[in-house]
């Protein structure tokens, strides 16, 4: 749905996309070359076109490795972008969905062994943040979560973590 040959600032290493629709436009956030880009299309199946001609989040910008974008639209309609390896960042997106309204903030849960892949949802006024710990190639890899009453935290790790881990009895 996005051909990196048409992305001027990177032609390789794309992964971990996220997509959202606003109005009649789909916004596709993607990792490429250790940076985060945003592309647009009128269809969720593309083709998508790089919206900025440069990354939305540059390499190691905001104090984390710039990967794993996850778009979240709050119940009030405010869009956010979560991202980061080595720490979770949350940036409020402007109405254009291609720029930040202010500087992304650190929402890494205190005391957590946070690695990457932040994802957020809200239920009954509580915000839930999930993330990966350790490396997917290791038996100790798992997914944990935390909750907060505010989108910016502070996030408290939940009892019963992790929510996903290897089961060696399954091979």
In order along its 171 residues, the chain shows pLDDT tens digits of 999 999 999 999 999 999 999 999 999 999 999 999 999 999 999 999 999 999 999 999 999 999 999 999 999 999 999 999 999 999 999 999 999 999 999 999 988 889 999 999 999 999 999 999 988 888 888 999 999 999 999 998 876 678 888 887 887
Model confidence, pTM:
0.94
Kind and range of the H or E element at 66? none
Burial of 92 (0-12, 13-18, 19+ CB in 10 A): middle
20 in Cβ contact with 97 (< 8 Å): yes
- If we measure between CA atoms, which residue out of 86, 137, 136, 84 comes closest to residue 113? 86
The Cβ-side half-sphere exposure at 59, using a 13 Å CA radius, reads: 5
Rounded to whole angstroms, what are the CA distances from 19 to 1, 44, 91, 116?
11, 8, 16, 18
């Amino acid at each position: 749905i996005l051909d990196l040959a048409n992305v001027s600032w990177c032609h390789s290493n794309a992964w971990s996309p996220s997509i959202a629709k606003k109005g009649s436009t789909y916004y596709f956030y993607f990792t490429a070359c250790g940076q985060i880009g945003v592309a647009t299309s009128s269809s969720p199946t593309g083709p998508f076109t790089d919206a900025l001609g440069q990354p939305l989040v540059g390499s190691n910008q905001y104090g984390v490795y710039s990967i794993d974008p996850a778009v979240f639209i709050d119940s009030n309609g405010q869009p956010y972008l979560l991202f980061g390896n080595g720490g979770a960042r949350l940036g409020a997106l402007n109405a254009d969905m291609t720029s930040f309204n202010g500087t992304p903030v650190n929402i890494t849960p205190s005391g957590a062994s946070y690695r990457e892949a932040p994802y957020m949802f809200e239920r009954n006024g509580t915000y839930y943040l999930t993330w990966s710990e350790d490396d997917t190639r290791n038996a100790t890899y798992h997914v944990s979560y935390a909750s907060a009453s505010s989108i910016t935290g502070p996030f408290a790790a939940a009892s019963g973590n992790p929510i996903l881990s290897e089961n060696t009895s399954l091979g």
